[in-house]
Chain A
Amino acid sequence: MATLPFFAYTALFLFLPAGSVLIGAFQAKGQGYTLENVRTLFHHPYIDAFKTSIEISLVTALLGGLLGLLIAYAAIRDGTPRWIRSALTTFSGVAANFGGIPLAFAFIATLGPLGIVTVFLRNHGWDPTQHGFNLFSKTGVELAYLYFQLPLMILVIAPAVDGLRKEWREASANLGASQWQFWRYVGVPVLMPSLLGAIILLFGNAFAAYATAYSLTSGAVNLVPILIGAYYSGNVLDNPHLAQAMAFGMFVVLAVMMLIYIPLQRRAARWAK
Chain B
Amino acid sequence: MAPSAYLWLLLGAAYFLIPLVSTLLFSLKSNTTGKCCTAANYGWVIHNGDFWHTLKISFLLALETIVISLAIFVPTIYWVHLKVPKLRAVIAFFALIPFVVPPIVMVVGLLKVFKGTPDWFYAQPWGFLAGAYVILAFPYMFFSLDAGFRAIDVHTLTEASQSLGARWTTTLVRVILPNIRAAALAGAFLTLAIVMGEFTIANLAAFHTFPIFIQYVNETQGFPAGALTLMSFGITWAAMLSLLFVGRRRGARAAIVAGAR
Contacts and interface: CB of A to CB of B under 8 A. Distances in A.
* Chains A and B bind each other: yes
Interface of A: 1-3, 5-6, 9-10, 13-14, 16-21, 24, 67, 70-71, 73-75, 77, 79-81, 84, 88, 90-91, 93-102, 104-110, 114-117, 146-148, 150-152, 155-156, 204-205, 207-212, 214-215, 218, 225, 228-229, 232-233, 240, 243-244, 247, 250-251, 254-255, 258
Secondary structure of the A side of the interface?
Answer: helix
Contacts of A233: 203-204, 206
9 contacts: A3-B75, A18-B101, A19-B109, A79-B5, A94-B241, A101-B199, A110-B23, A150-B16, A225-B102
A3 B80 contact: yes
B46 interface: no
Contact of B5 (A9, A77, A146, A211): A77
Contacts of B218: 101, 104-105, 108, 215
Given A79-B1, A114-B222, A155-B256, A21 B76 contact: no
Nearest to B111: A232
A71 B12 contact: yes
A180 B9 CA distance: 21
A244 B71 CA distance: 32
A210 B135 CA distance: 18
A82 to B, nearest CB: 12
Nearest to B233: A102
B19 interface: yes
B106 A17 contact: yes
B36 to A, nearest CB: 10
B67 interface: no
Contacts of A155: 256
Given A106-B229, A233-B203, A14 B97 contact: yes
Given A105-B225, A109-B229, A5 B76 contact: yes
Given A101-B215, A229-B203, A150 B12 contact: yes
Secondary structure of the B side of the interface?
Answer: helix
Contact of A13 (B9, B132, B200): B132
A24 B112 contact: yes
A215 B20 contact: no
Contacts of A146: 15
A210 B71 CA distance: 30
Contacts of B78: 2
Nearest to B74: A2
B8 interface: yes
Contacts of B73: 6
A100 B18 contact: no
Given A2-B79, A18-B105, 16 more contacts: A3-B84, A3-B87, A17-B108, A17-B109, A24-B112, A71-B12, A73-B5, A94-B236, A100-B199, A101-B197, A115-B22, A116-B25, A204-B100, A211-B200, A232-B205, A250-B102
A155 B261 CA distance: 17
B236 to A, nearest CB: 5
B9 A71 contact: yes
Given A247-B108, A255-B100, A106 B256 contact: no
A204 B98 CA distance: 12
A208 B104 contact: yes
A255 B240 CA distance: 29
B63 interface: no
A94 B260 CA distance: 13
Contacts of A77: 2, 5
A93 B261 contact: no
Contact of A102 (B80, B91, B204, B214): B214
